[in-house]
Structure 1
Amino acid sequence: MRRYARTLVAFALATTVAAGSAGWASGNAQQALTGPPPGTAAWRADHALGRELPDPGRNTPDEVARFFRGLTAAQQQALVVSHPLVVGNLDGVPVELRYQANALSLQASHDPRYARLAGSAGQRRQILAFDPRGRGQVAEVFGDLRTARHVAVVVPGSDIDAGTFDRTNDVYGTPAGMAKALYARTGPGSAVVAWAGYTTPVGLGIDAATGWLAEAGAGRLTRFTDGLAADGVPEPAVFCHSYGSVVCGLAASRLRAKDLVVLGSPGMRADDVADLHTDARVWAAKDATDWIGNVPNVEVAGLGHGPDPAAPEFGARRVPADDARGHTGYFAPGTDSLRAFAAITEGKAR
C-alpha cells in the first residue's frame, strides 16, 4: 500500500511539473548530442594517404585502433594536424594522439569558455576529448593511462558541460574535481578519467526525470570504454554520480567495467543488480543528508528512474558514506566514501 501511495504521489508531482511548469521545463530542454565528431565530412573526403580513413559513424573502436597501428608516425601526425577535432574525439585512436589533437583544437578555439582547458605553458592538460558543439563536452585524464595498473572513469550528473566541467565552486560536484580527488587518493599507479561526454540535463525539469538524455549518453559511454580497451587501457572502475547513474544503468549490460559504482543515485532504470545484466561488481553510496533521498524511487510512464540502488533489496554492495555531506560530498578528501572509492579502483575492496 505504501509503495502504491508513493507511486501516486510521484506521478502527481511529475504531472504537475509537466503541465503547470511547462514553460520552465521546456526552456531547459536539451537536445542530445549524438553521432560522429565535428569535422567528419572533411575526414571522410580525405584520401591523401591513398586509402579510406575509418568512418567515425560506422567503424568500431577496435577497427579504428587497428587502422592507426598500421600507420607510420608521420602519417599519424599528418592526421592530427589535418583533422584535430576528429582525431581528438575518435574512440580507438591512441591516447597520445588524442591529447595532441585536442591541444590543437583548443589553441584554435576563440571561445573564452575553453581557454583554461588548454592549460598554461609547461602544464598542458591531458584532454582526451573536446567537442565544442552545443554546451561543449570534455574528457580529461589525471595520471598516465599508458602505465596505470588501475583506471577509473567518473561520469557526472546534471548541469555539467564544458563550462562547468572544472568550476571552482562546489568542486567535488564537478567531474574534474571528483577525478582529481580520486587520483590523489590512489596515487601514481592509477589513472582517472573525468568524462563529461554526453548532454546532461539542466536543472530539475523533464529531462532530469526521464531517460532520453541518459540513453544517448549510454551509447557514448559504451563506445568510450570500448575505445579505452582497444588502446590497451585496463578495464576501469566506473563511478556514476546522480543522473550519471541513470546513464550507467542503461549502459551496464554492454559497458566494459570491472566495477560500477553509483553515488547519490535517483535510480538506474533497473529493478535490482540482476536486472543490470552486468558482470561488473555493483556498488552504491548515499549519505543521509543527500537531497536525492527525497526523490521518489519509482518509474511511471517514463518518469522517474526506479528503485534506489542504495536500498538493501537492490543487491548492490554498500559503500560507507555517513560522513559525506550533501549531494556532492562523496569525493571530499578525508571521507569514508573516498577511501572506499580508492580501494575499489585499486581492486582492494571486497
Structure 2
Amino acid sequence: MGTHRVRRAVAAAALAVAVMLGAGGWAAADAQTAVTGPPPGSAAWTADTSLGLRLPDPATASAAEVAAFFAGLSPAQQDELIARHPLVAGNLDGAPVELRYRANALALAAARTEELSRAADPALTPEDHRAARTRAERYGTLLDGHRRILAFDPRGRGQIAEVYGDLAHAAHTAVIVPGSDIDLLTYDRASDPYGTPAGMARALYEATAATGTGTGTGTAVIAWAGYTTPVGLGPDAATERLAEAGAARLTALLDGLAASTRPQAPAALFCHSYGSVVCGLSRPGPAEASRLVVLGSPGMGVDSADELDPRVPVFATARNDSDWIGDVPHVRLLGLGHGADPTDPAFGARPLPATGSHGHTGYFAPGTASLAAYAALALGR
C-alpha cells in the first residue's frame, strides 16, 4: 500500500472514531467488561453428587452432551436439579427449553427477592436503593406467567433471552441479535420499541403469523440480549472486543438450539447495528444458521461476504436515508472500524428492500418492506 493510501486509511479510521464518539448526540462511555464463562453457580453445580451422577461441566460440556445428559433424567430428577441450581440450568445451552423456562422463573424470583432486600437495607445508599428497586421491578415484569425466558444472567448490566412462539416444536426459528445499549433493563422498552430485541422479535413473530399459517405456531423468534453490548458510541462501539466475546456466546446459543430443538432448518439470524459485527465474527456454518440478515450495519468485521461460510446466504437491508449509521466510515484499520459496507454490491450480500422504514431502528416497524422480507426469510422462503 502506497504512502498516500496509508495516510488516507489512517485518516478514515480517525474519522470513524470521531463519528462514533459524536453520532446521534451520544457521548462516549466507560469501557464495558464483557460477561464471559459459565453461568453463576457453576462451581456448586459441578460439585453436586446428590443424583449419583456426574453433572456436565458448564464450562466444557458441548450442547450435545448437555442434551444427552438431560434426556437420561427422569422428570423428578430434572425438577430436583433446577430447584437447586436454577441459574445454571436456566442458562445451560442444550438443556430442554421447557426446563430452562422453569429454571429461569425460579432464578428471577430469587433475584427479585434479593433486590427487594437490598432496597430496604439501611447500610446501602439511596442510589443503591433506587437501583435495587429498578431491577426488582424488571424481574417482576419478566415473571409474568406468559413469558418464556430462555436465559437470565444478572451479572454486569444483566443479560436476557426471551422466546416468542413454541420453540420446542417450531418448524422455523429466528434469532434477533441487537446492537449497542441493550441489556437486561433496556432490551424491552416502550419508547423506540423496534430498536429493542424484544420489540423486533414481537414484530417478526406477528409478521410470520400474518404471512404464514395464520397462527404463528410454525415460527419461534428469540429476542437475544445475551452478550455485553457497547454503551453509547465510544471506543467499544468502534472496536471488535465486545463483539468477539458476543460471537462466542451466540455460537453457544445456536449449538444449544441445534441440540435441544428440531426445526426444519437452523435459525435465521437478524443482526442489527453492532450486532451485525457479532454475527459476522461468529461465522456460522449451515449447522448453526440457515441465513444471516444484517440491518443498520456498520460492517461485519469482514471485508466481503466471501470471508463468511458460503453455505449460509447473507442478506443486507438497504439503508434508509434517515439512518445515521450511513455517516460512519466503513474502514477497518489498527483495530478500529468494522470493515466494508454490507449494502455495497461489491460486498456480495443479497439486497433486501427497506421502503417505509425510518431511522436507525425502524426496519422492523409494521408495514415496512424490510419487515415483510424478514418474515419471508424467517419462514424459509
What is the percentage of aligned positions where both structures have the same residue? 60
Q: Is the 8 A contact 2:174 2:220 kept in 1?
A: yes
- Counterparts of 1:58 and 1:74, CA distance in 2: 25
2: CA distance between counterparts of 1:99 and 1:3? 54
Deviations 1:118-151 (A, max 9, x none): 5488743100000000100000000001221111
Q: Check if 1:258 corresponds to 2:290.
A: yes
- Greater RCO between the two (CA within 8 Å, min separation 6)? 2
Residue in 2 aligned with 1:227?
256
Distance 1:270 1:16 in 2: 21
Q: Deviations over 1:127-176 (max 9, x none)?
A: 00000001000000000012211110000000000000101111000000
Residue 179 of structure 2 aligns with an amino acid whose one-letter code is G
1:11: how far off?
A: 2.5
Q: Deviations over 1:49-84 (max 9, x none)?
A: 112100000100000000000011100010111100
Is the CA contact (8 Å cut-off) linking 1:252 and 1:278 kept in structure 2?
no
Q: CA RMSD in A?
A: 2.3
Q: What are structure 2's unaligned runs of at least 5 residues?
A: 22-26, 116-133, 210-215
Letter in 1 for 2:163: V
Question: Following TM superposition, by how much is the alpha carbon of 1:101 offset from its aligned partner in structure 2, in angstroms?
Answer: 0.3
Matched, 1:270 2:302: yes
Against the structure 1 CA distance between its residues 120 and 228, is the aligned structure 2 distance closer, same or farther, given a 3 Å change threshold? closer
Kept in 1, the 8 Å contact 2:19–2:328? The answer is no
Matched with 1:172 is: 194
Partner of 1:342: 375
Task: Say which of 123, 126, 142 aligns to 2:148.
Answer: 126
Distance in 2 (CA, whole Å) between partners of 1:307 and 1:102 is 39
Paired residue for 1:312, among 345, 350, 374? 345
Question: In the TM superposition, what whole-angstrom CA distance separates every residue of 1:10-67 from its partner, at most 9, and x where no partner exists?
Answer: 2233576999xxxx75x52000100000010110110001121000001000000000
Question: 1:276 offset after TM fit, Å?
Answer: 1.3
Using a 3 Å threshold, how does the CA distance of structure 1 residues 16 and 167 change in structure 2: closer, same or farther? Answer: closer
Letter in structure 1 aligned against 2:300: M
Secondary structure of the residue aligned to 1:325 is: coil
Aligned 8 A contact 1:151 1:345 in 2: yes
Aligned residues: 344
Quick check: 183-192 or 10-19, which moved more?
A: 10-19
CA gap of 1:314–1:128, structure 2 versus 1, over 3 A, is: same
Secondary structure of residue in 2 paired with 1:109:
helix
Structure 1 segments unaligned to the other structure (5+ residues): none
Could you list the per-position Cα deviations for residues 205-227 of structure 1 after superposition, in whole angstroms to 9, with x for gaps in the alignment? 11000001000000000010000
CA contact (8 A) 2:138 2:185 kept: no
Preserved contact between residue 114 and residue 162 of structure 1 (Cα < 8 Å): no
For 1:142 and 1:18, the matched residues in 2 are separated by 33
Instruction: State the distance in 2 between where 1:244 and 1:6 align.
Output: 27
Map residues 149-298 of structure 1 onto 2, 5 A cutoff.
149-187=171-209, 188=216, 189-234=218-263, 235-254=266-285, 256-285=288-317, 286-298=319-331
109-118 or 202-211, larger mean C-alpha shift: 109-118
Deviates further, 40-49 or 108-117: 108-117
Write the letter of the residue equivalent to 1:289: S
SS in 2 for 1:184: helix
In terms of mean alpha carbon deviation, does 8-17 or 44-53 score higher?
8-17
Q: What amino acid is the match of 2:277?
A: V
1:43 and 2:42 equivalent?
no
Q: Could you tell me how far 1:116 is from its partner in structure 2?
A: 4.0
Decide whether the 8 Å contact of 1:146 with 1:233 is kept in 2: yes
Sort the Cα spacing of 1:312 and 1:279 in 2 relative to 1 into closer, same or farther, 3 A.
Answer: same
Give the secondary-structure state (helix, strand or coil) at the position aligned to 1:332: coil
What is the distance in 1 between the residues matched to 2:20 and 2:344?
28
Deviation per residue, 1:77-96 (Å, 9 max, x gap): 10111100000001000000
Task: Give distance in 2, aligned partners of 1:43 and 1:219.
Answer: 22
Deviation at 1:322, TM superposition (A): 2.8
| d(CA) in 2 for partners of 1:176, 1:29 | 25
What code does the residue aligned with 2:355 have? D
TM-score (norm. length: structure 1): 0.93
User: Alpha-carbon deviation of 1:288?
Assistant: 2.2
Residue 380 of structure 2 aligns with an amino acid whose one-letter code is G
Query: How far, CA to CA, are the matches of 2:220 and 2:20 in structure 1?
Result: 42
Determine the C-alpha separation between the residues in 1 that align with 2:341 and 2:256. 30
